[in-house]
Amino acid sequence: MSVKESKTELFTVAGTDTVESGPGSEVFNSRKIVTTFERYIQPCLAEVVGCALFIFVGCGSVIENAGVPGSLQPALAHGLALVIVIAVLGEISGGHFNPAVSVSVCISGGLDVILLGPYILSQMVGGMIGAGLAKAASSTISYASAAGGVFNVVKTNGAIGSATVAEIVMTLFLSLVVCMGAVNGRTRTPLAPLCIGLTVTANILAGGSASGGCMNPARAFGPAVVANYWEYHWIYWVGPMAGALITGSLVRLLLGDQKTRLVLK
C-alpha cells in the first residue's frame, strides 16, 4: 500500500464493510468486531494517550521554563512532542490531539462527523491526564511559579484582542498545514508530521508573547482544570475554533482538490 493510500484510509475512519453471507460467516463476524473496535474505539483511545503525552511534555516544558525569558524551550518541546505522537499514533486516529484540528479535518472531509464528538471528548480527557501527570512530576515551587502551565499571558499584558487574533491566525496556520498536508489528496505528503510539529514550534516562537501560543483547546483545558485557573480561558476556545472554521471553509471552497471542493469544480 502506498503512503497516499494509507493516509486516505487513515482519515476516512468511518465506513462499513460488506461481505456476502454464506459459509465462513462466523469468520466475518469475528472480523467485524475487530473492525468496529479499530474504527471507533481504538482511535479515541489513541487520542487520549497521544494528547496526554503531548500535554504532559508541553506543561512540563512551561513549568521548567518558569522565570526564564523567551519561549524557545516550550516551542521546541511542544513541536517535537507533537511530531513524535503523530508519527507513532497517527495511523490509528489521524493524530489530531487537538479539538480545533478535528473540527477543521471534519469540515474538510477527512473525519466522519459521527467521530467528532468522541474525538473532542477524548482529547479533553487526555488533556486533564497530561496536566495531572505534569503536576505530579514537578516540584511544588516550580508548579506554582508557572501556574501549572496554564495560559496566563493575557493576565499579564491585558491584550485580549491581540491574544484572540493571534490564536485565530496561529490555529489557521496549523490546521491548514494539517488539512493540506495530511488530508487533501493533491497536496498530501509523508512529511506531514514533521511539518505540523514545525508549525507549532514556529507559532509559539512568533505568538507566544501575545497569547502563549495555545492553538489547542485541550492544551488549555487540561491545565485549567488541574490548576483551577479559568481567567480568560474562553480565548483559547474562541480563537482556535474560529481558525479551524476558516481553514475548513478555505479547503472546501478554494484550496481543496476537485474531490474536496464543494464549488468551482
Give how far the C-alpha of residue 207 lies from the chain's centroid of Cα atoms, to the nearest Å: 18
CATH number at residue 55: 1.20.1080.10
* Secondary structure of 182-244 in HEC code, one letter for each residue: HHCCCCCCCCHHHHHHHHHHHHHHHHHHHHCCCCCHHHHHHHHHHHCCCCCCCHHHHHHHHHH
Query: Would residue 181 count as lying in a domain?
Result: yes
Residue in the structure block whose three cell numbers are 514533521: 194
| Closest by Cα among 79, 113, 125 to 11 | 113
| Closest by Cα among 77, 67, 209 to 141 | 67
CA distance 258 to 265: 6
Q: What is the pLDDT of residue 118?
A: 98
Count the domains in the chain. Answer: 1
Q: Are 181 and 192 in contact (CB under 8 A)?
A: yes
Checking if the pLDDT of 190 tops 60, the result is yes
pLDDT above 70 coverage of the chain, percent: 86
Query: Would residue 78 count as lying in a domain?
Result: yes
Q: Are 123 and 99 in contact (CB under 8 A)?
A: yes
Query: Would residue 18 count as lying in a domain?
Result: no
Q: How many residues does the chain have?
A: 265
Checking if the pLDDT of 119 tops 60, the result is yes
Query: Would residue 82 count as lying in a domain?
Result: yes
Q: What is the pLDDT of residue 65?
A: 83
Q: Tell me the pLDDT band of 51, cut-offs 50, 70 and 90.
A: very high
Q: What is the pLDDT of residue 9?
A: 42
Is the whole-model pTM more than 0.85?
yes
Query: Would residue 264 count as lying in a domain?
Result: no
Query: Would residue 43 count as lying in a domain?
Result: yes
Query: Would residue 184 count as lying in a domain?
Result: yes
Domain of residue 249: give its range. 3-13+24-255
Query: Would residue 260 count as lying in a domain?
Result: no
Average pLDDT, the chain: 88
